Chains A and B, each alone.
Chain A
């Protein structure tokens, strides 16, 4: 069965600190896709990244970076030099190849204080 676990319910940091959001997934498929979405206080869901199971390269986009490790079934998200605008709920999600249905984790609420 598919499952996504985000064990960190809430994280608080002070601006400019680095912060890592953890995501652990379970799937029996060899082909799957992992996603991160951001939900700011305004409520909409914003797509951040998609990674397939055959691509374990880490990715960096500005202050954001993602570490995908199949050996530990993890897809962690790091924000470097956090800013107040990063305050949001972040969701990790999984879809198995060919279905497109997303299984979401319960989310991690990140609060960045000035």
Chain B
């Protein structure tokens, strides 16, 4: 019963460094999402994917890239990290074929600090 697994759980980067956050789900969900959570702002959608090989921009996509090469994995990349990207990042998945607007299942989050 792994659900949604995020790797790593914590990371500290220096400004300008790059890194990739990995999200894996074992529920055969079609849709996957990346959010960031900042104090007082709730969760904001960065990018999402409605299926293998597809990605789309969310509310705050600048500075991030994503890839969905396999249905179960959704990668979030920071090419040149900036202090403004210090945040807690959550991955989520939802929707099996034939049903809509199902609850999203979230991973435990990745706490990322950019110095």
Contact = CB atoms under 8 A, between A and B. Distances in A.
A52 interface: yes
Given A43-B108, A100-B95, A91 B101 contact: no
A45 B48 contact: no
A100 B106 contact: no
Interface in B41-100: 41-45, 48, 50, 58, 88, 90, 92, 94-95, 100
B40 A47 contact: no
B101 A33 contact: yes
A101 B42 contact: no
B96 to A, nearest CB: 12
Interface in A67-114: 91, 95, 97-98, 100-102, 104-107
Contacts, number: 53
Given A43-B88, A44-B106, A44-B109, A104 B42 contact: yes
A50 B6 CA distance: 24
A19 to B, nearest CB: 20
Given A35-B103, A44-B106, A97-B101, A91 B58 contact: no
Name, among A35, A52, A100, the residue most crowded by chain B CB atoms within 10 Å (CB to CB): A100
Contacts of B43: 45, 91, 102, 104
B42 A100 contact: no
A76 to B, nearest CB: 17
B104 interface: yes
Given A91-B43, A106-B40, A100 B100 contact: yes
Interface in A31-67: 33, 35, 37, 43-45, 47, 50, 52
Interface of B: 31, 33, 40-45, 48, 50, 58, 88, 90, 92, 94-95, 100-109
3 A-B pairs with least C-beta separation: A104-B42, A45-B106, A47-B103
